[in-house]
Structure 1
Amino acid sequence: MEMDELRAIAEGELSRVAGKSQRTGNVPFPPDFVIAKEGQDRKASLARMVQGGRGGAVRLRLYLCITMMATSKPFNLRKPPTPRGWARMLALDPQSGDRRVQRNLKWLAQNDFIKLEPRWGGPAEITLLSPAGDGRAYVRPIEEPSTRGRYVGVPVEFWTNGWILELSTTAVALLLVLRDALGGRNAPEYIPTYKQRKYGLSSDTWTKAIKDLSGYGLLTVGRESQGSTYDYQRMRNTYLLDWDRLKERPQLLEGTAE
Protein backbone atom coordinates (compact mmCIF):
# COMPACT_ATOMS: atom_id res chain seq x y z
CA MET A 1 0.00 0.00 0.00
CA GLU A 2 1.38 3.43 -0.95
CA MET A 3 2.17 6.01 1.74
CA ASP A 4 -0.42 8.46 0.40
CA GLU A 5 -3.10 5.79 0.75
CA LEU A 6 -1.93 4.89 4.26
CA ARG A 7 -2.01 8.57 5.20
CA ALA A 8 -5.54 9.07 3.83
CA ILE A 9 -6.81 6.05 5.80
CA ALA A 10 -5.06 7.28 8.94
CA GLU A 11 -6.55 10.78 8.68
CA GLY A 12 -10.00 9.27 8.28
CA GLU A 13 -9.48 7.16 11.42
CA LEU A 14 -8.19 10.14 13.41
CA SER A 15 -11.18 12.26 12.41
CA ARG A 16 -13.54 9.43 13.30
CA VAL A 17 -12.16 8.86 16.83
CA ALA A 18 -11.96 12.61 17.49
CA GLY A 19 -15.59 12.93 16.50
CA LYS A 20 -16.56 9.96 18.65
CA SER A 21 -14.76 11.47 21.64
CA GLN A 22 -16.58 14.79 20.99
CA ARG A 23 -13.33 16.69 21.38
CA THR A 24 -13.43 20.40 20.64
CA GLY A 25 -10.90 23.12 21.34
CA ASN A 26 -7.67 22.03 23.01
CA VAL A 27 -6.52 18.67 24.35
CA PRO A 28 -4.77 19.51 27.66
CA PHE A 29 -1.41 18.12 28.78
CA PRO A 30 0.02 19.07 32.19
CA PRO A 31 3.38 20.85 32.52
CA ASP A 32 4.71 17.71 34.27
CA PHE A 33 4.57 15.96 30.91
CA VAL A 34 6.93 18.32 29.11
CA ILE A 35 9.23 19.77 31.78
CA ALA A 36 11.05 18.17 34.71
CA LYS A 37 10.02 19.26 38.19
CA GLU A 38 12.49 21.02 40.45
CA GLY A 39 14.69 18.41 42.12
CA GLN A 40 13.53 15.62 39.81
CA ASP A 41 16.43 13.28 39.05
CA ARG A 42 15.18 12.06 35.69
CA LYS A 43 14.15 13.56 32.39
CA ALA A 44 10.69 14.92 31.73
CA SER A 45 8.18 12.35 30.48
CA LEU A 46 8.13 13.76 26.95
CA ALA A 47 11.92 13.51 26.60
CA ARG A 48 11.87 9.94 27.95
CA MET A 49 9.12 8.99 25.55
CA VAL A 50 10.82 10.19 22.36
CA GLN A 51 14.11 8.42 23.02
CA GLY A 52 14.77 5.34 20.95
CA GLY A 53 14.40 6.35 17.30
CA ARG A 54 11.46 4.71 15.53
CA GLY A 55 10.15 3.28 18.80
CA GLY A 56 9.91 6.77 20.24
CA ALA A 57 7.85 7.90 17.27
CA VAL A 58 5.22 5.22 17.77
CA ARG A 59 4.97 5.47 21.56
CA LEU A 60 4.62 9.28 21.52
CA ARG A 61 1.89 9.20 18.88
CA LEU A 62 0.10 6.39 20.70
CA TYR A 63 0.16 8.31 23.95
CA LEU A 64 -1.05 11.54 22.35
CA CYS A 65 -3.92 9.70 20.66
CA ILE A 66 -4.92 7.85 23.84
CA THR A 67 -5.00 11.15 25.73
CA MET A 68 -7.12 12.76 23.02
CA MET A 69 -9.58 9.82 23.04
CA ALA A 70 -9.95 9.36 26.84
CA THR A 71 -12.14 12.33 27.70
CA SER A 72 -13.93 11.46 30.95
CA LYS A 73 -13.44 9.53 34.18
CA PRO A 74 -12.04 6.95 34.61
CA PHE A 75 -10.11 8.17 31.52
CA ASN A 76 -9.97 4.82 29.83
CA LEU A 77 -10.61 3.19 26.49
CA ARG A 78 -12.81 0.20 27.31
CA LYS A 79 -12.85 -1.02 23.73
CA PRO A 80 -9.67 0.40 22.19
CA PRO A 81 -8.54 -0.22 18.63
CA THR A 82 -6.79 -3.49 17.91
CA PRO A 83 -3.04 -3.28 17.26
CA ARG A 84 -3.85 -3.36 13.56
CA GLY A 85 -6.40 -0.58 14.09
CA TRP A 86 -3.81 1.58 15.86
CA ALA A 87 -1.39 0.88 13.01
CA ARG A 88 -3.96 2.16 10.50
CA MET A 89 -4.55 5.27 12.63
CA LEU A 90 -0.81 6.02 12.71
CA ALA A 91 -0.18 5.23 9.01
CA LEU A 92 2.27 2.44 9.88
CA ASP A 93 3.49 -0.26 7.52
CA PRO A 94 0.81 -3.00 7.51
CA GLN A 95 3.52 -5.67 7.60
CA SER A 96 5.08 -4.54 10.88
CA GLY A 97 2.77 -1.88 12.30
CA ASP A 98 0.78 -4.09 14.67
CA ARG A 99 3.98 -5.49 16.23
CA ARG A 100 5.36 -1.99 16.72
CA VAL A 101 2.09 -0.92 18.35
CA GLN A 102 2.07 -3.89 20.74
CA ARG A 103 5.71 -3.30 21.70
CA ASN A 104 5.13 0.37 22.45
CA LEU A 105 1.85 -0.08 24.31
CA LYS A 106 3.81 -2.47 26.52
CA TRP A 107 6.54 0.20 26.97
CA LEU A 108 3.94 2.80 28.00
CA ALA A 109 2.49 0.37 30.53
CA GLN A 110 5.88 -0.68 31.92
CA ASN A 111 6.78 2.99 32.39
CA ASP A 112 3.51 3.79 34.18
CA PHE A 113 1.95 6.09 31.58
CA ILE A 114 -1.00 3.72 31.02
CA LYS A 115 -2.47 0.58 32.55
CA LEU A 116 -3.41 -2.38 30.36
CA GLU A 117 -6.16 -4.68 31.61
CA PRO A 118 -6.78 -7.88 29.62
CA ARG A 119 -10.25 -8.11 28.13
CA TRP A 120 -11.87 -11.34 26.99
CA GLY A 121 -12.22 -11.51 23.21
CA GLY A 122 -10.54 -8.20 22.42
CA PRO A 123 -7.54 -5.94 22.98
CA ALA A 124 -6.67 -4.92 26.54
CA GLU A 125 -8.55 -2.01 28.08
CA ILE A 126 -6.33 1.08 28.31
CA THR A 127 -6.47 3.43 31.30
CA LEU A 128 -4.52 6.68 31.36
CA LEU A 129 -2.23 7.22 34.33
CA SER A 130 -0.47 10.40 35.43
CA PRO A 131 1.57 11.93 32.59
CA ALA A 132 4.42 12.26 35.06
CA GLY A 133 4.98 8.51 34.63
CA ASP A 134 4.78 7.85 38.37
CA GLY A 135 1.85 5.42 38.35
CA ARG A 136 -0.61 7.79 40.01
CA ALA A 137 -4.17 8.11 38.78
CA TYR A 138 -4.77 10.51 35.91
CA VAL A 139 -6.16 13.92 36.90
CA ARG A 140 -7.41 16.51 34.44
CA PRO A 141 -4.71 19.19 34.13
CA ILE A 142 -7.25 21.93 34.89
CA GLU A 143 -8.06 20.13 38.17
CA GLU A 144 -4.46 19.50 39.26
CA PRO A 145 -3.75 21.64 42.37
CA SER A 146 0.04 21.47 42.03
CA THR A 147 -0.03 23.27 38.65
CA ARG A 148 -2.92 25.61 39.55
CA GLY A 149 -4.80 24.59 36.46
CA ARG A 150 -2.00 25.48 34.03
CA TYR A 151 -1.73 23.16 31.03
CA VAL A 152 -0.27 22.77 27.55
CA GLY A 153 -3.23 22.90 25.19
CA VAL A 154 -3.03 21.27 21.76
CA PRO A 155 -5.86 21.97 19.27
CA VAL A 156 -7.81 18.91 18.19
CA GLU A 157 -6.91 19.88 14.60
CA PHE A 158 -3.41 18.59 15.36
CA TRP A 159 -5.04 15.16 15.01
CA THR A 160 -7.89 15.76 12.57
CA ASN A 161 -5.77 17.69 10.05
CA GLY A 162 -3.04 15.06 10.12
CA TRP A 163 -0.26 17.08 11.75
CA ILE A 164 0.48 14.21 14.13
CA LEU A 165 1.28 12.09 11.08
CA GLU A 166 3.14 14.75 9.10
CA LEU A 167 5.59 16.15 11.64
CA SER A 168 8.72 14.31 12.73
CA THR A 169 8.87 12.97 16.27
CA THR A 170 11.36 15.65 17.29
CA ALA A 171 9.16 18.37 15.76
CA VAL A 172 6.12 17.13 17.69
CA ALA A 173 8.15 17.09 20.91
CA LEU A 174 9.51 20.61 20.40
CA LEU A 175 6.06 21.92 19.45
CA LEU A 176 4.81 20.82 22.89
CA VAL A 177 7.90 22.22 24.60
CA LEU A 178 7.54 25.62 22.92
CA ARG A 179 3.83 25.69 23.69
CA ASP A 180 4.73 25.35 27.36
CA ALA A 181 7.75 27.68 27.30
CA LEU A 182 6.04 30.48 25.35
CA GLY A 183 2.52 30.09 26.68
CA GLY A 184 0.07 32.27 24.78
CA ARG A 185 2.54 35.02 23.92
CA ASN A 186 2.10 36.59 20.50
CA ALA A 187 5.51 38.26 20.36
CA PRO A 188 8.96 36.71 19.82
CA GLU A 189 10.41 35.39 23.07
CA TYR A 190 13.84 34.25 24.22
CA ILE A 191 14.02 30.96 26.17
CA PRO A 192 16.98 30.89 28.59
CA THR A 193 19.39 27.98 28.28
CA TYR A 194 18.75 26.79 31.84
CA LYS A 195 15.03 26.46 31.03
CA GLN A 196 15.68 24.67 27.75
CA ARG A 197 17.68 22.06 29.64
CA LYS A 198 14.75 21.30 31.94
CA TYR A 199 12.82 19.96 28.97
CA GLY A 200 15.47 17.28 28.44
CA LEU A 201 15.78 17.56 24.64
CA SER A 202 19.27 17.59 23.19
CA SER A 203 20.66 20.58 21.29
CA ASP A 204 20.69 18.42 18.17
CA THR A 205 16.98 17.72 18.65
CA TRP A 206 16.28 21.45 19.01
CA THR A 207 18.20 22.20 15.81
CA LYS A 208 16.44 19.54 13.71
CA ALA A 209 13.00 20.25 15.12
CA ILE A 210 13.33 24.02 14.63
CA LYS A 211 14.05 23.40 10.96
CA ASP A 212 10.99 21.14 10.64
CA LEU A 213 8.59 23.48 12.43
CA SER A 214 9.86 26.50 10.50
CA GLY A 215 9.49 24.64 7.22
CA TYR A 216 5.79 24.11 7.89
CA GLY A 217 5.20 27.69 8.97
CA LEU A 218 4.55 26.77 12.59
CA LEU A 219 7.56 28.59 14.00
CA THR A 220 9.40 31.82 13.32
CA VAL A 221 12.92 32.09 14.72
CA GLY A 222 14.38 35.57 15.14
CA ARG A 223 17.61 37.04 16.50
CA GLU A 224 18.07 39.68 19.14
CA SER A 225 21.09 41.15 20.85
CA GLN A 226 21.89 40.34 24.45
CA GLY A 227 23.30 42.98 26.77
CA SER A 228 23.60 46.76 26.57
CA THR A 229 25.35 48.76 23.87
CA TYR A 230 28.36 49.07 26.21
CA ASP A 231 28.65 45.31 26.70
CA TYR A 232 29.86 42.60 24.41
CA GLN A 233 27.00 41.99 22.02
CA ARG A 234 25.84 38.38 21.78
CA MET A 235 22.98 37.28 19.58
CA ARG A 236 20.35 34.86 20.82
CA ASN A 237 17.36 33.15 19.26
CA THR A 238 13.78 34.22 19.84
CA TYR A 239 10.77 32.04 19.08
CA LEU A 240 7.22 32.73 17.95
CA LEU A 241 4.66 29.98 17.32
CA ASP A 242 1.87 30.33 14.77
CA TRP A 243 -0.61 28.11 16.60
CA ASP A 244 -3.43 28.90 14.17
CA ARG A 245 -1.43 27.15 11.45
CA LEU A 246 -2.58 23.83 12.95
CA LYS A 247 -6.11 24.65 11.83
CA GLU A 248 -4.94 24.29 8.23
CA ARG A 249 -3.68 21.26 6.35
CA PRO A 250 0.06 20.51 6.69
CA GLN A 251 2.08 21.90 3.81
CA LEU A 252 5.73 22.79 3.49
CA LEU A 253 6.41 26.42 2.65
CA GLU A 254 7.65 27.12 -0.87
CA GLY A 255 11.38 26.81 -1.16
CA THR A 256 11.62 24.59 1.92
CA ALA A 257 13.36 21.29 1.37
CA GLU A 258 12.11 18.24 3.26
Structure 2
Amino acid sequence: METRDRREEALTHLRGAAAKSQRSGNVPFPPAFVIAAAGQDTPPPLARMIQGGQGGAVRLALYLCITMMATSKPYDLKAPPIPKSWARMLALDPGTGARRVSRNLKWLADNGFIKLEPRWGGAPAITLLSPAGSGGEYVRPIEQGRYIGVPIEFWTQGWLLDLSPTAVALLLVLLNELGGKDKPRYVTAEKRHRYGLSSDTWTKATKELVQHQLLRVGQETQGSFYEYERRRNTYWVEVERLKEQP
Protein backbone atom coordinates (compact mmCIF):
# COMPACT_ATOMS: atom_id res chain seq x y z
CA MET A 1 0.00 0.00 0.00
CA GLU A 2 1.34 3.42 -0.94
CA THR A 3 2.14 5.94 1.80
CA ARG A 4 -0.72 8.20 0.65
CA ASP A 5 -3.19 5.31 0.82
CA ARG A 6 -1.91 4.34 4.29
CA ARG A 7 -2.50 7.89 5.47
CA GLU A 8 -6.06 7.94 4.14
CA GLU A 9 -6.80 4.61 5.83
CA ALA A 10 -5.25 5.90 9.07
CA LEU A 11 -7.35 9.06 8.91
CA THR A 12 -10.50 6.98 8.56
CA HIS A 13 -9.54 4.96 11.66
CA LEU A 14 -8.67 8.10 13.67
CA ARG A 15 -12.00 9.69 12.81
CA GLY A 16 -13.79 6.50 13.76
CA ALA A 17 -12.00 6.38 17.12
CA ALA A 18 -12.85 10.02 17.80
CA ALA A 19 -16.50 9.44 16.89
CA LYS A 20 -16.68 6.38 19.13
CA SER A 21 -15.21 8.38 22.03
CA GLN A 22 -17.86 11.09 21.47
CA ARG A 23 -15.17 13.69 22.02
CA SER A 24 -15.86 17.29 21.12
CA GLY A 25 -13.88 20.46 21.74
CA ASN A 26 -10.49 19.89 23.36
CA VAL A 27 -8.68 16.87 24.76
CA PRO A 28 -7.08 17.97 28.07
CA PHE A 29 -3.51 17.34 29.21
CA PRO A 30 -2.02 18.55 32.52
CA PRO A 31 0.88 21.04 32.49
CA ALA A 32 2.91 18.54 34.52
CA PHE A 33 2.97 16.28 31.45
CA VAL A 34 5.03 18.82 29.49
CA ILE A 35 7.02 20.79 32.09
CA ALA A 36 9.12 19.67 35.05
CA ALA A 37 8.57 21.23 38.46
CA ALA A 38 10.94 24.08 39.34
CA GLY A 39 14.19 22.65 40.69
CA GLN A 40 13.56 19.18 39.28
CA ASP A 41 16.54 17.79 37.36
CA THR A 42 14.82 14.98 35.44
CA PRO A 43 13.07 15.69 32.11
CA PRO A 44 9.25 15.94 32.16
CA PRO A 45 7.16 12.98 30.90
CA LEU A 46 6.69 14.38 27.38
CA ALA A 47 10.43 14.88 26.79
CA ARG A 48 11.16 11.37 28.10
CA MET A 49 8.48 9.90 25.87
CA ILE A 50 9.87 11.25 22.60
CA GLN A 51 13.44 10.13 23.24
CA GLY A 52 14.64 7.20 21.19
CA GLY A 53 14.13 8.13 17.55
CA GLN A 54 11.29 6.36 15.76
CA GLY A 55 10.32 4.55 18.96
CA GLY A 56 9.53 7.90 20.52
CA ALA A 57 7.28 8.80 17.60
CA VAL A 58 5.18 5.64 17.99
CA ARG A 59 4.89 5.75 21.77
CA LEU A 60 3.84 9.42 21.75
CA ALA A 61 1.24 8.80 19.04
CA LEU A 62 -0.11 5.79 20.96
CA TYR A 63 -0.29 7.73 24.20
CA LEU A 64 -2.08 10.68 22.62
CA CYS A 65 -4.61 8.34 20.97
CA ILE A 66 -5.24 6.39 24.16
CA THR A 67 -5.80 9.64 26.05
CA MET A 68 -8.23 10.83 23.40
CA MET A 69 -10.12 7.51 23.38
CA ALA A 70 -10.37 6.87 27.15
CA THR A 71 -13.06 9.36 28.10
CA SER A 72 -14.65 8.21 31.36
CA LYS A 73 -13.76 6.35 34.54
CA PRO A 74 -11.88 4.10 34.86
CA TYR A 75 -10.36 5.65 31.70
CA ASP A 76 -9.74 2.37 29.97
CA LEU A 77 -10.06 0.66 26.62
CA LYS A 78 -11.60 -2.71 27.44
CA ALA A 79 -11.39 -3.94 23.85
CA PRO A 80 -8.56 -1.87 22.31
CA PRO A 81 -7.30 -2.29 18.75
CA ILE A 82 -4.93 -5.18 18.17
CA PRO A 83 -1.34 -4.12 17.29
CA LYS A 84 -1.99 -4.53 13.56
CA SER A 85 -5.02 -2.22 13.81
CA TRP A 86 -3.07 0.34 15.84
CA ALA A 87 -0.44 0.24 13.08
CA ARG A 88 -3.10 1.04 10.49
CA MET A 89 -4.43 3.90 12.64
CA LEU A 90 -0.94 5.42 12.82
CA ALA A 91 -0.09 4.81 9.14
CA LEU A 92 2.88 2.62 10.05
CA ASP A 93 4.65 0.27 7.67
CA PRO A 94 2.59 -2.94 7.39
CA GLY A 95 5.68 -5.10 7.70
CA THR A 96 7.00 -3.67 10.97
CA GLY A 97 4.13 -1.61 12.39
CA ALA A 98 2.54 -4.24 14.62
CA ARG A 99 5.86 -5.09 16.28
CA ARG A 100 6.62 -1.41 16.85
CA VAL A 101 3.20 -0.92 18.43
CA SER A 102 3.62 -3.91 20.76
CA ARG A 103 7.09 -2.77 21.79
CA ASN A 104 5.96 0.77 22.56
CA LEU A 105 2.78 -0.22 24.38
CA LYS A 106 5.08 -2.26 26.62
CA TRP A 107 7.31 0.83 27.06
CA LEU A 108 4.30 2.92 28.12
CA ALA A 109 3.30 0.20 30.59
CA ASP A 110 6.83 -0.29 31.95
CA ASN A 111 7.14 3.47 32.48
CA GLY A 112 3.87 3.86 34.34
CA PHE A 113 1.74 5.67 31.72
CA ILE A 114 -0.71 2.83 31.09
CA LYS A 115 -1.63 -0.55 32.54
CA LEU A 116 -1.96 -3.59 30.29
CA GLU A 117 -4.24 -6.42 31.44
CA PRO A 118 -4.30 -9.73 29.54
CA ARG A 119 -7.64 -10.45 27.91
CA TRP A 120 -8.73 -13.83 26.61
CA GLY A 121 -8.93 -13.91 22.83
CA GLY A 122 -7.85 -10.34 22.21
CA ALA A 123 -5.33 -7.60 22.81
CA PRO A 124 -4.66 -6.64 26.46
CA ALA A 125 -7.08 -4.11 27.92
CA ILE A 126 -5.49 -0.69 28.39
CA THR A 127 -6.05 1.55 31.42
CA LEU A 128 -4.76 5.11 31.31
CA LEU A 129 -2.59 6.03 34.31
CA SER A 130 -1.22 9.32 35.61
CA PRO A 131 0.43 11.44 32.88
CA ALA A 132 3.33 11.89 35.30
CA GLY A 133 4.40 8.31 34.52
CA SER A 134 4.17 7.44 38.21
CA GLY A 135 1.82 4.50 37.79
CA GLY A 136 -0.79 6.36 39.83
CA GLU A 137 -4.47 6.73 39.06
CA TYR A 138 -5.48 8.92 36.14
CA VAL A 139 -7.34 12.09 37.11
CA ARG A 140 -8.91 14.28 34.45
CA PRO A 141 -6.78 17.44 34.10
CA ILE A 142 -9.87 19.66 34.05
CA GLU A 143 -10.54 18.51 37.62
CA GLN A 144 -7.11 19.73 38.68
CA GLY A 145 -7.44 23.32 37.48
CA ARG A 146 -5.47 24.66 34.56
CA TYR A 147 -4.92 22.31 31.62
CA ILE A 148 -3.63 22.20 28.03
CA GLY A 149 -6.46 21.83 25.55
CA VAL A 150 -5.69 20.12 22.23
CA PRO A 151 -8.52 20.41 19.67
CA ILE A 152 -10.02 17.07 18.63
CA GLU A 153 -9.20 18.05 15.05
CA PHE A 154 -5.55 17.33 15.88
CA TRP A 155 -6.64 13.71 15.43
CA THR A 156 -9.53 13.96 12.97
CA GLN A 157 -7.70 16.21 10.49
CA GLY A 158 -4.58 14.04 10.60
CA TRP A 159 -2.07 16.37 12.29
CA LEU A 160 -1.07 13.42 14.48
CA LEU A 161 0.07 11.66 11.31
CA ASP A 162 1.85 14.56 9.63
CA LEU A 163 3.80 16.25 12.42
CA SER A 164 7.07 14.86 13.76
CA PRO A 165 7.11 13.91 17.46
CA THR A 166 9.34 16.90 18.25
CA ALA A 167 6.91 19.26 16.50
CA VAL A 168 4.03 17.74 18.46
CA ALA A 169 6.02 18.16 21.68
CA LEU A 170 6.77 21.83 20.95
CA LEU A 171 3.13 22.40 20.03
CA LEU A 172 2.07 21.10 23.46
CA VAL A 173 4.79 23.16 25.15
CA LEU A 174 3.66 26.37 23.49
CA LEU A 175 -0.02 25.66 24.12
CA ASN A 176 0.95 25.40 27.77
CA GLU A 177 2.93 28.66 27.63
CA LEU A 178 0.13 30.53 25.89
CA GLY A 179 -2.73 29.17 27.97
CA GLY A 180 -5.00 32.10 28.80
CA LYS A 181 -2.68 34.63 27.11
CA ASP A 182 -3.95 37.00 24.44
CA LYS A 183 -0.63 37.92 22.85
CA PRO A 184 2.62 36.23 21.72
CA ARG A 185 4.88 35.09 24.52
CA TYR A 186 8.63 34.80 25.10
CA VAL A 187 9.88 31.57 26.71
CA THR A 188 12.71 32.12 29.17
CA ALA A 189 15.85 29.99 29.20
CA GLU A 190 14.85 28.61 32.62
CA LYS A 191 11.45 27.55 31.26
CA ARG A 192 13.03 25.94 28.19
CA HIS A 193 15.26 23.87 30.45
CA ARG A 194 12.23 22.67 32.41
CA TYR A 195 10.53 21.54 29.20
CA GLY A 196 13.48 19.25 28.50
CA LEU A 197 13.80 20.04 24.77
CA SER A 198 17.27 20.73 23.38
CA SER A 199 18.04 23.91 21.45
CA ASP A 200 18.39 21.87 18.27
CA THR A 201 15.02 20.21 18.83
CA TRP A 202 13.43 23.58 19.59
CA THR A 203 14.84 25.12 16.39
CA LYS A 204 13.83 22.24 14.08
CA ALA A 205 10.37 21.90 15.60
CA THR A 206 9.81 25.66 15.35
CA LYS A 207 10.67 25.59 11.65
CA GLU A 208 8.28 22.67 11.07
CA LEU A 209 5.37 24.32 12.88
CA VAL A 210 5.96 27.57 10.99
CA GLN A 211 5.97 25.69 7.68
CA HIS A 212 2.60 24.19 8.59
CA GLN A 213 1.29 27.67 9.47
CA LEU A 214 0.65 26.49 13.03
CA LEU A 215 3.11 28.87 14.62
CA ARG A 216 3.86 32.56 14.27
CA VAL A 217 7.30 33.69 15.48
CA GLY A 218 7.89 37.36 16.19
CA GLN A 219 10.50 39.42 17.99
CA GLU A 220 10.50 41.88 20.84
CA THR A 221 13.22 44.07 22.30
CA GLN A 222 14.52 43.38 25.79
CA GLY A 223 16.21 46.16 27.74
CA SER A 224 15.79 49.94 27.86
CA PHE A 225 17.38 52.76 25.87
CA TYR A 226 20.11 53.05 28.52
CA GLU A 227 20.78 49.32 28.72
CA TYR A 228 22.02 46.67 26.35
CA GLU A 229 19.17 45.86 24.00
CA ARG A 230 18.66 42.47 22.43
CA ARG A 231 15.98 40.86 20.33
CA ARG A 232 14.23 37.73 21.49
CA ASN A 233 11.70 35.46 19.82
CA THR A 234 8.04 35.42 20.79
CA TYR A 235 5.61 32.64 19.91
CA TRP A 236 1.94 32.44 19.01
CA VAL A 237 0.11 29.20 18.16
CA GLU A 238 -2.52 29.46 15.42
CA VAL A 239 -4.95 27.10 17.14
CA GLU A 240 -7.66 27.56 14.50
CA ARG A 241 -5.24 26.16 11.91
CA LEU A 242 -5.48 22.78 13.67
CA LYS A 243 -9.12 22.65 12.62
CA GLU A 244 -8.08 22.65 8.95
CA GLN A 245 -6.31 19.98 6.93
CA PRO A 246 -2.49 19.87 7.11
> What secondary structure does 1:88 align onto?
helix
> What secondary structure does 1:92 align onto?
coil
Q: What is the aligned partner in structure 1 of residue 101 from structure 2?
A: 101
Query: C-alpha distance in 1, partners of 2:32/2:132?
Result: 6
Query: C-alpha distance in 1, partners of 2:208/2:231?
Result: 22
Tell me how large the CA RMSD over aligned residues is.
0.8
Q: Look up the equivalent residue of 2:56 and give its one-letter code.
A: G
5+ residue gaps, structure 2: none
Q: What is the aligned partner in structure 2 of residue 118 from structure 1?
A: 118
Q: What is the aligned partner in structure 1 of residue 22 from structure 2?
A: 22
Within the candidate set 194, 200, 210, 1:198 is matched to 194
Residues 224, 238 of structure 1: 8 Å contact kept? yes
Q: What is the aligned partner in structure 1 of residue 213 from structure 2?
A: 217
Deviation at 1:77, TM superposition (A): 0.2
Residues 1:186 and 2:161 aligned together = no
Q: Look up the equivalent residue of 1:222 and give its one-letter code.
A: G
Q: How does the TM-score come out when normalised to structure 2?
A: 0.98
Q: How does the TM-score come out when normalised to structure 1?
A: 0.94
Deviation at 1:191, TM superposition (A): 1.1
Query: C-alpha distance in 1, partners of 2:180/2:90?
Result: 29
Query: C-alpha distance in 2, partners of 1:240/1:50?
Result: 23
Deviation at 1:160, TM superposition (A): 0.1
Deviation at 1:212, TM superposition (A): 0.3
Deviation at 1:189, TM superposition (A): 1.3
Deviation at 1:184, TM superposition (A): 3.3
> What secondary structure does 1:112 align onto?
coil
Q: 1:94-138: CA deviations, max 9, x gaps?
A: 000000000000000000000000000000000000000011100
Q: What is the aligned partner in structure 2 of residue 255 from structure 1?
A: none
Residues 186, 240 of structure 1: 8 Å contact kept? no
Residues 21, 71 of structure 2: 8 Å contact kept? yes
Q: Look up the equivalent residue of 1:78 and give its one-letter code.
A: K
Q: How does 1:7-86 map to 2 (within 5 A)?
A: 7-86=7-86
Query: C-alpha distance in 2, partners of 1:71/1:7?
Result: 25
5+ residue gaps, structure 1: 251-258
Q: What is the aligned partner in structure 1 of residue 172 from structure 2?
A: 176
Residues 116, 126 of structure 1: 8 Å contact kept? yes
Q: How does 1:113-152 map to 2 (within 5 A)?
A: 113-144=113-144, 149-152=145-148
Deviation at 1:37, TM superposition (A): 1.6
Q: What is the aligned partner in structure 2 of residue 162 from structure 1?
A: 158
Q: Look up the equivalent residue of 1:193 and give its one-letter code.
A: A
Q: What is the aligned partner in structure 2 of residue 254 from structure 1?
A: none
Residues 220, 233 of structure 2: 8 Å contact kept? yes
Deviation at 1:233, TM superposition (A): 1.2
Percent identity for Structure 1 against Structure 2: 66
- Choose 57-66 or 228-237, whichever is displaced more: 228-237
> What secondary structure does 2:236 align onto?
strand
Query: C-alpha distance in 1, partners of 2:138/2:40?
Result: 19
Query: C-alpha distance in 2, partners of 1:138/1:40?
Result: 22
Q: Look up the equivalent residue of 1:227 and give its one-letter code.
A: G
Q: Look up the equivalent residue of 2:88 and give its one-letter code.
A: R
Q: 1:57-110: CA deviations, max 9, x gaps?
A: 000000000000000000000000000000000000000000000000000000
Residues 177, 185 of structure 2: 8 Å contact kept? no
